[in-house]
A = this chain, B = another copy of it.
């Protein structure tokens, strides 16, 4: 079998290589990668022979990241063409008040911790609704608001989500992810058993809409959808903390497709974060982490 294959391969090896390339090209998005990597070279040589645009390569990467789709597909406008502009209503605080508020907000957010042990006590659904409404005030690329939230309080559904997450997490810990990943997480004492997914009264699942769907069925570009949804999640986490509840910021690795199917979400949505929300268990502990100091994260140019 092998001895037969060898002369065949040596004679037709370039056909095999070409087949492989074509296969990759049509199977994956390698054509996009080639466009990304090769076209900047020509742009640099022909369009910017003075060499000003030395960062052209990186720059075109960025453009491709945002558009990242056949542009012809997306010909519907995101905003009404006759959008009115109105005066911005503003009450200016004095400097003392600015400082007081900035300090207070820091204290609120600084008290936030990721909690892994929840109490079963229920949370009023109106509270969850206000928290989601707050997240929905986030800015987004061209005001596309590319987010969907699913709040699950149903016990059976929470159990089914837990099953999916635990199944995948066990594979993540045991097989998929490197030793590095599991050893990085070990000090946090995490494993693939996720009891909080059934204990917490609410699971908030945040989906990002990688593109929008217009009433006429056409697609709408969602610029910077990843960043926009994550900013909304930052507001969501702050809303939970401000309200007096706790959560755990989790990215359920590899569970996206199964959970999306379970919840019947459309194909333009991808699971971004999964947040159990509720009260902490009475004996809840947190790792004794320190945050970086201001001088480690801030540079001032005065």
Name A's B-contacting residues (CB within 8 A). 14, 17-18, 21, 24, 27-30, 33-34, 36-38, 55, 58-60, 62-63, 66-67, 71, 74-75, 77-88, 90-93, 95, 97-99, 101-106, 109-110, 112-115, 123-127, 129-134, 136-139, 141-143, 145, 147-154, 157, 168, 172, 176-178, 180-181, 183-189, 221, 223-224, 226-227, 229-239, 242-246, 249, 251, 253-254, 256-258, 263, 272-273, 279-280, 283-289, 291-292, 294, 297-302
Q: How many copies does the complex hold?
A: 2
Contact, CB under 8 Å: B109 / A239:
yes
For the complex, what is the distance from the CA of A226 to the CA of B231, rounded to whole Å? 11
CA distance A7 to B229 in the complex (A): 54
26 pairs, CB–CB < 8 Å, chain A vs chain B? A14-B14, A14-B17, A17-B17, A24-B34, A29-B37, A63-B253, A83-B288, A88-B115, A88-B280, A88-B286, A98-B127, A98-B245, A99-B127, A102-B127, A105-B134, A109-B239, A114-B139, A129-B298, A136-B294, A145-B297, A149-B298, A150-B300, A150-B301, A151-B299, A184-B223, A227-B272
* Interfacial chain B residues near A115, Cβ < 8 Å: 88
* Cα–Cα distance between A167 and B279 once the two chains are bound (Å): 51
Contact assessment for B90 and A288 in the assembled complex, using a CB-CB cutoff below 8 Å = no
A108 CB, nearest partner CB in chain B, Å: 8
Known pairs A139-B237, A224-B251, A235-B237. 13 more at Cβ < 8 A?
Answer: A59-B254, A63-B172, A77-B187, A83-B287, A86-B286, A98-B243, A101-B242, A102-B126, A109-B235, A110-B133, A110-B137, A142-B188, A231-B231
Given contacts A28-B36, A178-B71, contact A81 B187 (CB under 8 A): yes
A178-B71, A254-B59, A301-B263 as given contacts; A187 in contact with B151, CB under 8 Å: no
